[in-house]
Structure 1
Amino acid sequence: MEVDSINLRLLGVDISRKAVNLARRNQKRLEHEYTGPNQFELSALQGLQFIQADVLKDDSGPTDTNVQALMDVLKGHAKQSGEALRWDILISNPPYISPSSFNKSTSRSVRNFEPKLALVPPEVPGSTGLNAGDVFYPRLLAIAEEVSAKMVLFEVADLEQADRVANMAKRSSSWNGIQIWRDVPAETPVELTKSRFKVLGHGSGRSVFCWRGEAAKWLGLASEKSGRA
């Protein structure tokens, strides 16, 4: 496939203006320093955009930020450009540490030197019944539906949280496959969680991966009807 025939759009999102500005500076530095022969890599780097937006904010009610809602930004861009509101892949490393875990089990170096905003989800009205560390995942799954994502990858704290997030995805009945990946998601060894989701690889439970539609062919998983056992 010719590089020119690939229409690749990459978008990075953060609620923190400081984080967005840092990402943009790093992007410019990498573009300036890039010496590789792969024009596709350079084209992807140059086409990458970063925006400040609030992932949690939606039509259900206000949040305590004055940052524009992510879906409002995406819908506005789609309307202005005439492009479809579609993003094939959604990857997120959201804040997923509960307030109690942050105080009791998070290492001192993390508590002292990493911004709490990036680690602990805020309290959100209407989230009763959710584990305090799981607040972002229902909203991320809803966004995946709104943008017609064909695959999603969400980082999690551990296997217990991964099992909860996988069950959220299962309840939506939208995904052809759901897997849990460890730090090194090799094909083997394969285990099952208490809810009987496949766990691939070695190391700690690290992410939940879901796919559907065309993504099965992209991944060579066309014959696998579900990531659930």
Structure 2
Amino acid sequence: MPRLSFSLFWRAHRVSPHLATLLPVCRDLISARNELRWIRQHVVDLMSHTSGKTRTSPQTKNAQIALLTRLCRRRGIGVPLQYVLGSQPFGNLDIKCRPGVLIPRPETEAWVTHLADIACRHTDTNRAGGAANLRVLDLCLGSGCIGLLLHSLLERQFPRLSVRGFDVESDAVVLARQNLVHNTRRGLLHNPNDSILFLDADIFDPAWLASLVRHGGREHGRMRRGPVVDVLVSNPPYISTRGFDRDTERSVRNYEPKRALVPPPKPAIADGKPEDVFYVRLLEILEVLRSRFAVFEVGDLEQARRVAEMAIRQFEGVGAGVVKVEIWRDWPDMQPEEHEVDSMEISGLQIPVKGSGNGRAVFIRRAT
């Protein structure tokens, strides 16, 4: 990364010392100005909420300056802006962020929005229980952003929508619950009541899956013939230890939780990579729950290829047309660039590659 010139720092300092503080991490004046504006507005909003005063007293102004200086210094040493501001927009939601829980990404927001559109267009609301009983399961939920945005996008079409989210990290579950309350109070989620539930769980625990089937697979006292869960989503840890140390950005390595990005040691996968271990379990869960739609986020196009191949092998022999697999890029609604392929051959099948950008998710659809 090239060094910034002294003249650039001088120009920034002439505008504001805070601008110069932000410059090393922002790398240019336009980005630094934007971030300074956001931090200033955050400070004003925070101090106004704390003091409850509309007019700024000298004491309040001094406190604002001190807080602004402290936050700019934190950002200047590389702390992610979302941790500095304490939140990140995600669709129409405002997601609280804090150290120890992964920050929501815009690429994740893109595939969640794309999935919601597919669920709305391809769910037969005339079938028994169709609109009333759409069930969403979010595994490795993190901040809760995926499940909450799906609820926000689907709740009008599916009045009795339910979202369940699980994570092995208690800090993530606590934050997800706070985001549920926060967005409900802001009027961004309507009538969630008990339709959204976030709980601690280890998805590798056989007892957890058995309990999920036992409680979710029954309807009116009888075993449900259809899927236990309609939509299964997950953004699991998917980066190798080597990839985390060499390929991730410095701010990610230094400040975001490694455990949310790098899978813990698990039993070896036959002919597989350790960073793919979660997908083996997720595909097992998908088969047991008979979910109609599933989306698993991945790290790149090569990992997407591997996960797609796992899915094809998992459902081999089920029947032609029963299970369809697609790979989604960062922006699945965009047209691919000229150099970006729109399909690839995997296990003798032509698998669609939709959108533009990096490989981002694997989509699996089971016919009803």
TM-score, normalisation: structure 2: 0.49
Is 1:110 aligned to 2:252, yes or no? yes
Find the counterpart in structure 1 of residue 182 from structure 2: 29
Contact 2:298 2:360 in 1 (8 A): yes
Q: Distance in 2 between matches of 1:179 and 1:49?
A: 29
Distance 1:76-1:206 versus aligned 2 partners, 3 A rule: same
Which of the pair has the greater relative contact order for Cα pairs under 8 Å at 6+ separation?
1
1:74-93 matches, cutoff 5 A: 74-75=212-213, 77-78=215-216, 82=221, 84=224, 86-93=228-235
Contact 2:344 2:351 in 1 (8 A): yes
Query: 13, 38, 63: which is aligned to 2:166?
Result: 13
Q: Does 42-51 or 168-177 show the bigger shift? A: 42-51
Find the counterpart in structure 1 of residue 208 from structure 2: 70
Is 1:208 aligned to 2:356, yes or no? no
User: How much does 1:200 deviate?
Assistant: 0.7
1:41-56 matches, cutoff 5 A: 41-44=189-192, 47-56=195-204
Q: CA RMSD of the aligned region, Å? A: 2.6
Q: Distance in 1 between matches of 2:174 and 2:218?
A: 24
Distance 1:10-1:158 versus aligned 2 partners, 3 A rule: same
User: How much does 1:56 deviate?
Assistant: 2.2
Instruction: Flag structure 2 segments of 5+ consecutive residues without an equivalent.
Output: 1-130, 133-155
Find the counterpart in structure 2 of residue 176 from structure 1: 323
For residues 6-38 of structure 1, what are the alpha-carbon distances to aligned partners after superposition, in whole Å with 9 as ceiling and x for unaligned?
A: 33110111110010001101111111110x6xx
Query: What percent identity do the matched residue pairs reach?
Result: 40
Return the structure number with greater helix share.
2
Q: Does 147-156 or 193-202 show the bigger shift? A: 193-202
User: How much does 1:5 deviate?
Assistant: 7.3
Distance 1:187-1:4 versus aligned 2 partners, 3 A rule: closer
Distance 1:22-1:5 versus aligned 2 partners, 3 A rule: closer
For residues 120-148 of structure 1, what are the alpha-carbon distances to aligned partners after superposition, in whole Å with 9 as ceiling and x for unaligned?
A: 01111243432121010011011011111
The residue type paired with residue 161 of structure 2 is L
Instruction: Flag structure 1 segments of 5+ consecutive residues without an equivalent.
Output: 59-68, 215-229
Q: How many equivalent residue pairs? A: 199
User: How much does 1:187 deviate?
Assistant: 6.8
TM-score, normalisation: structure 1: 0.77
Query: 191, 202, 205: which is aligned to 2:342?
Result: 191
Contact 1:90 1:149 in 2 (8 A): yes
User: How much does 1:197 deviate?
Assistant: 2.0
- The structure number with the bigger radius of gyration is 2
The residue type paired with residue 342 of structure 2 is E
SS in 1 for 2:190: helix
Q: Does 189-198 or 75-84 show the bigger shift? A: 75-84
